[in-house]
Amino acid sequence: MIMNHYNLQTALAPRPFRYYPRITSTNDAALEWLREGAKDGSVVVAEEQTEGRGRLGRKWYTPPGVALAFSVILRPSLDALPQVTMLGGLAVYELLEALNEGRGEPHRVGIKWVNDVLLNGKKVCGVLTEAVWEGDRLLGAVLGIGVNVRVRFEVPELEHTATNVETALGRTFDRIDLLRDLLARIEHWALRLGSAELFTTWRAHLVTLGQPVTVGSISGIALDVDPDGALRVQTADGAVQRVMAGDVA
Ligand code: BT5
């Protein structure tokens, strides 16, 4: 179903939300709204992003009508901030697991440290958290989530690494239904931000642990994650290094 203000209203009420048929990035609009005083749980949704972004200035591809691109405004405590990204990946993980429950075809869903959700080993979702500060006070955080529902990847750099929900699960989905279910899961975990339960559940679904990894200049075995999200990597000399951010290759 094409998104419009009316059918989103039906699915998202009573949350405050803003809908854009086309926008640079839903995180841009959400960051602005957060500074204007948006309530915790407010949502920005777009049909298309012209400058969707990932981490470190990378691009996130969001063509019109085939993806979910949205941002949720949260007001976590400072201690809970690292869990906002975990929350996003976990909510998408649970949604994808639930979609195939009771159906024959097994599929593998997993979270790749730190922010990718994989279906059958390929990236189906990315999560980008951006925090807003006033001096050293945390005003809030924007949890941006992109899910490929039926996005096609003809571009060479993505065709082997990315997938979409419909291809991987072999059936079609209504994006508005998916968004409604996902927001319910996000709210469930948002109430538990800062809890050991959120961390241990996220950790349990990480496909990265026990695997050989290279993160920046560090190579070794991914041993574990710390509650602040850092990855512990054991290098060949036996030393264990904590990595806060980066890409696992
Ligand atoms: C991410 O960054 O994975 C975070 C993506 C967050 C997107 C959401 S959409 C709503 C909100 N508004 C935004 O502007 N952003 C958020 P990172 O780990 O840096 O991965 C980026 C890399 O993923 C790119 O360099 C590509 O290689 C790859 N990529 C780009 N678009 C993709 C897509 N649609 N599906 C899978 N991989 C993609």
Which pLDDT tens digit goes with each residue over 25-75? 999 999 999 999 999 999 999 999 999 999 989 999 999 999 999 999 999
d(CA 17, CA 11): 11
Token pair listed for 125: 């979702």
Token pair listed for 45: 């949704």
Question: Between 82-99 and 196-204, two packed helices, what is the crossing angle to 10 degrees?
Answer: 50
C-beta separation of 83 from 171 below 8 A: no
Mean pLDDT of the region 214-218: 90
> Among candidates 176, 163, 145, 174, which has minimal Cα distance to 107?
163
C-beta separation of 55 from 115 below 8 A: yes
> Among candidates 42, 12, 6, which has minimal Cα distance to 181?
12
C-beta separation of 242 from 231 below 8 A: yes
pTM of the prediction? 0.96
Nearest CA to ligand 1 atom 14: 52
d(CA 147, CA 27): 14
For the CA atoms of 130, 174, 93, 235, the dihedral, rounded to the nearest 10 degrees, stands at -70
pLDDT in tens, 118-168: 999 999 999 999 999 999 999 999 999 999 999 998 778 898 999 999 999
Q: Which residues contact ligand 1 via a Cβ below 6 A?
A: 25-27, 49, 52-56, 58-61, 69-71, 115-116, 123, 126-128, 144-146, 148, 151, 158, 162
